[in-house]
Amino acid sequence: MRLSDFLSYPSIVIQCHDNPDADAIASGWGLYLYFKEKNIPVRFIYGGRFKLQKSNLMLMISRYDIPIEYVTELNAPPLLITVDCQYGEGNVQKFEAENIAVIDHHRVSQTLPPMNDVRSNLGSCSTLVWHLLAKEGIDANTDTDLATALYYGLLTDTNGFAELSHPMDRDLRDELKVRRSDISLFRNSNLSFNELKIAGEALIRSEQFSDYKYGLIETKPCDPNILGIISDMFLEVDTVTSCLVYSILEFGVKISVRSCTIEVNANELAGYITEGIGSGGGHMDKAGGFIDRKSLDELGIGYNAESIHDFMHSKMEEYFTSTEIIYVKDYKGDLSPYPKFNKKSMHCGYVDPKAMNLTGIGVSIRTMEGDIDITLTDSMYIMIGIEGEIYPSSIDHFEKSYIYSDEPYTFPGEYEPTIKESKSGNKISIVDYAKSCISTGKRTVYAQKLNHRIKLFTQWDEEKYYLAKPGDYLVAPIDNPEDVYIVRNEIFATTYEEA
């Protein structure tokens, strides 16, 4: 779907969710400006029971003359685009329309109309609109007001960038040229005096669970940023190494997660709590998420403080008790009773840094899994795995396990990785320089299909674990049985065959 697909409609209404937040306003405004510039009659509206009043939002709207209108009735327009929300959701007042399109970054909760672009793993809808504008050749940096609004949308939807995880979100943060003084002004009129008191009350009711050193707090309905402020403070407590702070809102539960222990990755814990019932993610130490009310209803969990507290508490207990932790350096297990498999030969990609003129200098490689900071040398290749994951390899090691191939290379992943020169900031696409290679296999392993979760710390990175879920495999080479590693279920099926 492209924005230019909509240019044939005689008029368009853009609608964001009720009780709009900064992301809804910024992303809706981005779309509004696009259609206005194309001379299509366009309106930007929201409905619901309440008119906007939050001071940071009122400031942004008046500074930039954002023409957002509060409406309770609407004549069916030829095209209605819901932005930062999905048509038919509980927090989106339903207006009739001849045609409907959806542009959103939340979890898909409705049957979507054919015209939709929903990217559930983006941190904000502003990121998606920024990307859609760029696809039409529009650089948001030519309008500092819009650039600042989009940046602020992402900032507030990701708890001050703390809960940011997608590389496209990081691109927005790094590339938009914003008016810093405006951001500072909006940020510092974010809380009302009443919300400050909500934070205080929540702290009084905090609980800690000493077995696994985690904490739990419910706050009354408040701005999501307050959850971040509380969880940051909670983590500073000496007996708490991870915590979950949540707030029960009308249409779901907003959560904030923090961790300062390597055994709990906040990003992964937020994903665990929201799996199948919402969405969550972020960083190693800070993450956030949202659970849909509808999903809790479907699980038969009453929508009241007590049942939700019990649910959160049992989810946290289950998280700690159902997971085995393996430190490979101390591993003494034995996988030899399990079946033997051979590694198949696979097509992957590699890039020679010499071809890019990037040897001997510091670069940052932006990938789906995060930014990798590295100095490239002329004795290494950058490898692109079968799912598009990036890792360095020495040419020596490469030539033992791979052969070169003449086939043209096609990138398999969702986000094409880029290399940025740390000094000049120049950005280069890796895929433009990638060539094909084939792994030669010749490796036999024992593999155990797991029925529980494992966190595995490898020898070469003792700070970060790899996670295996039920259905994934714990694998050990037959000639080095203590060097265990994890292979995800889908990858195992395509890369190994029974020996």
Shortest CB 280 distance to Mn ion, Å: 14
Place of tokens 């405006």: 182
Residue with smaller CB distance to Mn ion, 225 or 265: 225
Residue with smaller CB distance to Mn ion, 47 or 349: 47
Query: SS3 sequence, 430-464?
Result: CHHHCEEEEECCCCEEEEEECCCEEEEECCCCCCC
Residue with smaller CB distance to Mn ion, 19 or 265: 19
> DSSP assignment, residue 418?
E
Residue with smaller CB distance to Mn ion, 19 or 241: 19
Beta bridge partners, 174, equal none
Nearest residue relative to Mn ion (C-beta): 23
Shortest CB 107 distance to Mn ion, Å: 12
Shortest CB 34 distance to Mn ion, Å: 18
Residues 6 or more apart from 76 whose CB is under 8 A from it? 95, 96, 97, 98
> What is the dihedral angle through the alpha carbons of 229, 167, 111, 90, rounded to the nearest 10 degrees?
20
Residue with smaller CB distance to Mn ion, 91 or 489: 91
- What DSSP element (H or E) covers 155? helix 144-157
**CA dihedral sign, ordered 168, 170, 171, 172:** positive
Q: For the CA atoms of the chain, what is the radius of gyration? A: 25
Residue with smaller CB distance to Mn ion, 126 or 241: 126
Residue with smaller CB distance to Mn ion, 125 or 202: 125
| Contact residues: Mn ion, CB under 5 A | 23, 84, 125, 157
Residue 229, SS3 per DSSP: helix
Shortest CB 251 distance to Mn ion, Å: 13
Closest CA to 9 of 104, 61, 77: 77
Shortest CB 125 distance to Mn ion, Å: 5
Residue with smaller CB distance to Mn ion, 56 or 495: 56
Shortest CB 30 distance to Mn ion, Å: 13
Shortest CB 196 distance to Mn ion, Å: 24
Beta bridge partners, 20, equal none
CA count, 13 A, side-chain hemisphere, 435: 12
Asked if residues 428 and 356 have their Cβ atoms less than 8 Å apart, the reply is yes
How far CA 405 is from CA of 147, 347, 348, 352, 446, in Å, comes to 44, 9, 10, 14, 29
Residue with smaller CB distance to Mn ion, 172 or 419: 172
Residue with smaller CB distance to Mn ion, 129 or 474: 129
Shortest CB 124 distance to Mn ion, Å: 5
Residue 85, SS3 per DSSP: coil
How far CA 93 is from CA of 17, 235, 359, 466, in Å, comes to 8, 38, 56, 43
Beta bridge partners, 486, equal 474
Residue with smaller CB distance to Mn ion, 23 or 218: 23
Shortest CB 102 distance to Mn ion, Å: 13
Distance CA 497, CA 345 (A): 10
Shortest CB 379 distance to Mn ion, Å: 45
Shortest CB 252 distance to Mn ion, Å: 13
Shortest CB 385 distance to Mn ion, Å: 31
Residue with smaller CB distance to Mn ion, 23 or 169: 23
- On the 0-12 / 13-18 / 19+ scale of CB atoms within 10 A, 334 is exposed
Complete DSSP assignment for 251-274: TEEEEEEEE-STT--HHHHHHHHH
How far CA 50 is from CA of 20, 96, 224, in Å, comes to 10, 20, 18
Taken as a whole, the chain contains a residue count of 499
